[in-house]
Structure 1
Amino acid sequence: MKSIEVVAAIITHEDHILCVQRGPAKFDYISHKFEFPGGKVEPGESGEEAITRELQEELKLDISETHYYMTVNHTYPDFHITMHAYLCPVTTREIVLTEHVDAKWLTKDALLQLDWAAADVPFVKKLMAN
Structure 2
Amino acid sequence: MELKATPSHDATHRYLKKKQAHVTDKTYYNYNTTLKRLLEFLDERNIDDMRDVDSDEIVRFESWRLDSVKPITCRNDMRTIKNFIHFCETIQAVPAGLHELVIPTKVSEDEEICDDILTRQEAVVFS
TM-score bin (small chain): under 0.3
- The structure whose Rg is larger is 2
**TM-score w.r.t. structure 1 length?**
0.27
More helix by share: 2
Structure with the greater relative contact order (CA < 8 A, sep ≥ 6): 1 or 2?
A: 1
